[in-house]
């Protein structure tokens, strides 16, 4: 799965599936299920580490978990999420950090949260041969400045701004767009006016592909799931039930049963008891190196 594959999907009207992923085992499952693209999102800070925002995510940590996801899903289109302040300070630092991300983690592109103020950064990264997915609309790394998790582009004036920003990102060399919490009508206009693959999250059905946070669509808990998110499973209750059953069986000694335990051959048990009996009551001393069969 390459950017060429995603572009072909757009041209042919075939939708692209994307999910967030944070570990090797889950990546294997997602690739086996046929998920086209995996996003190692800085939402890891929320759904896995328990922070209230994505801001505490660090570059080294993101690289480490992205490496793990790549090992689990070698064929999926892999997007690495650049964490807070790893690209905003200056273009040179953005190039250096993104280059390290791609070379170490093996991702196919990096995602950065942008508006028109970062056009020069996207342009510089693209000139440095770093593929950039430009994240527009609701930008979780900027929630302190916008006042929380809010839909973006709800008014005609704001929508025009988003549409213009998207064209600027295409002109700057971005290879794909991600729209978050954008009205359906605005997302459709952007999607139809660009040759870039457009991935949406809570941005309606007219984009080229969809992405969800894994924990949201599995009903796993954590993060900031939007009210409109569709849950494909309810794992929270199932997992709590499984953990509760385990704890109860341990307390009642129902677990482990014989089939959950390892037993010695009866002849070896007899030999062990003979050796221990010959040594008397002290069974804690080390076995002499000269003892045959021990």
Number of Cβ within a 10 Å radius of residue 92 = 11
Active-site hit among 113, 180, 259, 271: 180
Biggest CA–CA distance in the chain, Å, is: 91
- State CA 42 to chain mean position distance: 7
Backbone angles phi, psi at 99, to 5 degrees: -65, -40
Beta-bridge mates of residue 136:
179
User: Please, where are the H alpha helices in 151-200?
Assistant: 156-172, 184-192
**CA–CA separation, 102 and 66 (whole Å):** 9
- Whether residue 177 contacts residue 201, with contact meaning beta carbons closer than 8 Å, is answered with no
Which one-letter DSSP state was computed for residue 199? E
Plot region of 181 (φ>0 → left; ψ -120 to 50 → alpha; else → beta) = left
Give the CA-trace dihedral at 56, 57, 60, 61, to 10 degrees.
110
Is 180 one of the annotated active-site residues of the chain?
yes
The catalytic residues are 180
């Amino acid at each position: 799965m390459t950017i060429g594959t995603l572009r072909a999907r757009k041209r042919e009207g075939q939708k692209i599936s994307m999910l967030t992923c944070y570990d090797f085992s889950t990546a294997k499952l997602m690739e086996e299920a046929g998920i086209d693209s995996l996003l190692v999102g800085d939402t890891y800070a929320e759904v896995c580490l328990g922070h209230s925002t994505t801001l505490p995510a660090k570059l080294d940590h993101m690289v480490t978990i992205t490496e793990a996801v790549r090992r689990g899903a070698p064929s999926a289109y892999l997007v690495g999420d650049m964490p807070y302040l790893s690209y905003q300070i200056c273009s040179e630092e953005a190039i250096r950090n993104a280059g390290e991300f791609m070379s170490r983690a093996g991702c196919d592109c990096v995602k950065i949260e942008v508006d028109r103020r970062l056009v020069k950064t996207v342009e510089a990264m693209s000139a440095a041969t770093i593929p950039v997915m430009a994240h527009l609309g609701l930008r979780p790394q900027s929630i302190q400045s916008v006042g929380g998790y809010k839909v973006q582009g709800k008014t005609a004036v704001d929508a025009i701004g988003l549409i213009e920003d998207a064209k600027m990102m295409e002109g700057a060399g971005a290879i794909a767009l991600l729209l978050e919490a954008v009205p359906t009508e605005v997302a459709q206009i952007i999607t139809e006016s660009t040759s870039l693959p457009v991935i949406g999250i809570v941005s309606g059905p007219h984009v080229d592909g969809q992405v969800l946070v894994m924990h949201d669509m599995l009903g796993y808990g954590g993060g900031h799931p939007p009210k409109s998110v569709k849950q494909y499973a309810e794992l929270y209750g199932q997992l709590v039930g499984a953990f509760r059953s385990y704890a109860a069986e341990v307390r009642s000694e129902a677990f482990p049963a014989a089939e959950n335990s390892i037993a010695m051959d009866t002849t070896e048990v007899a030999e062990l008891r003979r050796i221990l009996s010959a040594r008397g009551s002290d069974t804690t001393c080390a076995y002499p190196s000269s003892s045959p069969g021990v």
